[in-house]
Structure 1
Amino acid sequence: MTQGAGQEPVVRTATLRDFRVPPYAQTPVPPEAQAAPPSPVPPSPVPPPPVEPGPPAGAAAPPAAVPPPAPAAPPAPHPGNAVVGDEQPDGYTPTERDLPVIRRGDTVQVRTVTEPAPGSEDSPGPLYVVGDVHGYLDELLAALAEQGLVDADGKWAAGNARLWFLGDFTDRGPDGIGVIDLVMRLSAEAAAAGGYCKALMGNHELLLIGAKRFADTPVNSGAGTATFQAAWLLNGGQKADMERLQDVHLQWMSRLDAVVEQDGHLLLHSDTTAYLDYGSTIEDVNDTITAILTRNDADECWDLFRKLTKRFAFRDEGGPQAVRELLSTYGGQRVVHGHSPIPYLLGEVGGEGGEEDSGPVINGPHVYADGLAIAMDGGVTMAGKLLVVQLPLHD
């Protein structure tokens, strides 16, 4: 388990079953082989936010009145609405560890070297990427501070640096909405400082959007009937996140790009070639996915979620060729992705070590597929590490 400097031990949620390719992300099966449809789960009611009355208009204190003593100063707000200490929000539901072991010997663990941001305003600043966060706000703040991207108060401190999040901000961890709030705030602060902080669409953003918009509306999953609400709960959806989800969060997530090329790096969330189904250029892919979310069709959104939930396309013998297909279509020299946890690419979880098995040890991103792919999901949900690294890597 990775702790930030000065942090107390953090209780982590166990990992989720969706690291295997779930039925709804697989090739459709014949009707006679379809499983019974899952029971829809009704959405939790969303209570309206409390409204505090303001002072009456025109009210003034009497001239001779003695002002009351000043109230004690409230505690300083935690950056991004983080959960303080070990207390978890109401409705936080950890999930089971039952993921398969994928033993691979073709990945390389890479330590990264932190370099100070250049001071020139005429050239672009250093490029950083962030792997899957999944609601672990405290770990995110610690990792950003370690790289000098934020200060002790969680404010942007990196000048003209460029920061990309690879998606999956919510679910599983205790404060997904706090993570989104932080990223939105850093985007404004970075822009004001001459840099930028941007984010890509992950499959869990699609899942949360679908759970909010469509709830228990049945969709055709390709392997029977499913609902976004049931899939969201199965994949670690947190009641507290849904209760705090606002229109501004939904609008922000719905407008995220899915693919971008930066300094020869093709950035995307999922290690799949399914992006090719949505366009032959980066602009086409992003426009097509935005249009799908704008049309607000449950089945169409489900098909998009299903395809971007696929994984491991770059891992096996045909992996290098799959990466080359993406690079030749969209540009770049390397693919940088999240989605599939490094511990599972390395087979370091769920081994038969018994009491000696202390869990994954992740020190940095992993390069594989003949050096063409970089995996960035450090497995924070399974006591791994939330990765924030500078590109290009220093091998």
Structure 2
Amino acid sequence: MTPEDRFPGPEHPHPGPRHQPDLDVLPYGTYYEPDPAPGYSAPSYDGEAYDGETYSGYGGARYLEQHWSPDAQGHTVHAQGIGVDQSPAFPQYEVQGQVGYDGQDQGGYDGQDQGGYEPTLPDQPSPALQLAGRDDPPTIELGPPLPDPAAPTYPYPAPGPGEPPGPVYVVGDVHGYLEELRAELRHQGLIDDDGHWSAGRARIWFLGDFTDRGPDGIGVIDLVMQLAAEAAAAGGYCRALMGNHELLFLGAARYGDEPVQSTAGTASFLAAWRLNGGQQNDLDRLEAHHISWLSRLPAIALEDGHLLLHSDTTAYLEYGESIPDVNDAVHSLLATDSVDDWWDCFRRFTKRFAFRGDAGPMAVHELLDTYGGSRIVHGHSPIPYLTGAVHNDDGEPPHIPGPYVYADDLAVAMDGGVTMEGRLLVARLPIG
């Protein structure tokens, strides 16, 4: 257990400072510092014919692509006048007011369960139906058809039949640092100065942990949802994995201070969320469509031979022997009413460091042999903890030049430690 992931045990009136555990330095890992990416415009992938494998089981953007539509300029507008249906996971939920926090582990929470976000556009009869039953109108020359204002527009030539997909980028843990995320995406040429998708057919995977510790977790979620729709309109996509902090945030919103049985004693999701950097401002702004989107994120994905995970743990093996099985198991769990099952899932995906040390490559192979791929790319464990750089004696922030490749070059760590003055990492695959 590392300082950034804590679970409340029995309450103490004066717990005092928490000890920071010593971590072994890994001498066999290397940093990779990618060249700046000018953007993507070539019709091929890395100049070669594309024959990679893409399989995500569930797309983080799939749900939003149904409910966000591009306007005539290729930007994204949110559907208006939509209804809200209920989902089994969050029926009739409404965030209530602000929950006070006095530094103790427990606190009151008045929220009820929240309804899923299932927008439906109002029914409108077609022109043909409006004319039904009337006399036939006179025939006139209509001229050429007008362009469809809802049709997607492209900032580059539209993809042709059989054209390969664009390059793949991965984004490490953001933890509410919205401005740092925007700056890095702009630096990589993935968004423009106004914060809109500018990467054409490129593909982006966020590795999870959007909220907590940083100032604007909801802003981060809103940006990712926006980019998911804009990327789809441009022929690319922007998708995301479910991290342990997504489970924690959803659990805090749904269960509040309802007790759960943990190995550290009786605790609650809300108390654990606060101890792990939960920001009240995020909880206050959490809406039904955020909950619905977060609860549908996949836990694991395979992209161009890279097995994408949030956590550096083998706990995924406990939820299924294939990518669809794992994602189905997590989504089914989130549709239940069992706070203890939710807590158990959260705890499992909070485990870390499975790929360190002499046994690390074996653990990586166990996952690759089960789910496919030739390399794992993960977030969750900050690189300064993996390398021991967090213990610098000079007081300077840890130097994180890029992703960290380790476990016999089989694993790539992408959490640059933005919460500890490191970096928010965005990198193009393959790395190294």
Q: Give the TM-score taking structure 2 as reference length.
A: 0.69
Give the SS at the match of 1:336: strand
Give the SS at the match of 2:377: strand
Q: Residue 176 of structure 2 corresponds to which residue in structure 1? A: 135
| Matching residue's letter, 1:127 | V
Q: Residue 4 of structure 2 corresponds to which residue in structure 1? A: 18
Displacement after TM superposition at 1:101 (Å): 3.7
- What does 1:319-330 align with in structure 2 at a 5 Å threshold? 319-330=360-371
Deviations 1:309-329 (A, max 9, x none): 000000121110000000000
Q: Residue 32 of structure 2 corresponds to which residue in structure 1? A: 110
- What does 1:169-248 align with in structure 2 at a 5 Å threshold? 169-248=210-289
Give the SS at the match of 2:226: helix
Find the partner of 2:336 among 280, 284, 295: 295
Q: Residue 359 of structure 1 corresponds to which residue in structure 2? A: 397
In structure 2, how many angstroms separate the alpha carbons of the residues matched to 1:362 and 1:18? Answer: 18
In structure 2, how many angstroms separate the alpha carbons of the residues matched to 1:184 and 1:98? Answer: 38
- What does 1:1-80 align with in structure 2 at a 5 Å threshold? 17-19=3-5, 22=6, 36=10
Displacement after TM superposition at 1:347 (Å): 0.7
Q: Residue 119 of structure 1 corresponds to which residue in structure 2? A: 42
Does structure 2 conserve the Cα–Cα contact (< 8 Å) formed by 1:131 and 1:387?
yes
Displacement after TM superposition at 1:97 (Å): 8.5
| Structure with greater Cα Rg | 2
* Cα separation, partners in 2 of 1:283 and 1:310, compared to 1, 3 Å: same
Unaligned runs of 5+ in 2: 44-158
In structure 1, how many angstroms separate the alpha carbons of the residues matched to 2:202 and 2:367? Answer: 27
In structure 2, how many angstroms separate the alpha carbons of the residues matched to 1:294 and 1:207? Answer: 15
Displacement after TM superposition at 1:297 (Å): 1.5
Q: Residue 300 of structure 2 corresponds to which residue in structure 1? A: 259
Does structure 2 conserve the Cα–Cα contact (< 8 Å) formed by 1:101 and 1:344?
no
Unaligned runs of 5+ in 1: 1-15, 25-34, 40-95
Runs ≥4 in structure 1, deviation > 6 angstroms? none
Deviations 1:131-176 (A, max 9, x none): 0000000000000000000000100000000000000000000000
In structure 1, how many angstroms separate the alpha carbons of the residues matched to 2:332 and 2:403? Answer: 33
Displacement after TM superposition at 1:200 (Å): 0.2
Give the SS at the match of 1:171: coil
In structure 1, how many angstroms separate the alpha carbons of the residues matched to 2:236 and 2:337? Answer: 33
Does structure 1 conserve the Cα–Cα contact (< 8 Å) formed by 2:241 and 2:297?
yes
Displacement after TM superposition at 1:225 (Å): 1.0
Does structure 1 conserve the Cα–Cα contact (< 8 Å) formed by 2:320 and 2:326?
yes
Displacement after TM superposition at 1:387 (Å): 0.2
In structure 2, how many angstroms separate the alpha carbons of the residues matched to 1:23 and 1:319? Answer: 25
Tell whether 2:352 aligns with 1:311.
yes
Does structure 2 conserve the Cα–Cα contact (< 8 Å) formed by 1:38 and 1:225?
no
Identity of aligned residues (%): 59
In structure 2, how many angstroms separate the alpha carbons of the residues matched to 1:204 and 1:390? Answer: 24
* Cα separation, partners in 2 of 1:119 and 1:238, compared to 1, 3 Å: same
Give the SS at the match of 2:352: coil
Q: Residue 249 of structure 1 corresponds to which residue in structure 2? A: 290
Deviations 1:283-308 (A, max 9, x none): 00000000000113111000000000
Find the partner of 1:339 among 366, 376, 380: 380
Q: Give the TM-score taking structure 1 as reference length.
A: 0.75
In structure 1, how many angstroms separate the alpha carbons of the residues matched to 2:20 and 2:28? Answer: 20
| Matching residue's letter, 1:391 | L
Does structure 2 conserve the Cα–Cα contact (< 8 Å) formed by 1:100 and 1:350?
no
Choose 111-120 or 359-368, whichever is displaced more.
111-120
Give the SS at the match of 1:190: helix
| Matching residue's letter, 2:282 | D
Find the partner of 2:326 among 285, 290, 295: 285
| Matching residue's letter, 1:294 | A
In structure 2, how many angstroms separate the alpha carbons of the residues matched to 1:119 and 1:317? Answer: 41
User: How many residue pairs end up in the alignment?
Assistant: 308
Q: Residue 100 of structure 1 corresponds to which residue in structure 2? A: 21
Displacement after TM superposition at 1:119 (Å): 3.4
Q: Residue 93 of structure 2 corresponds to which residue in structure 1? A: none
| Matching residue's letter, 2:28 | D
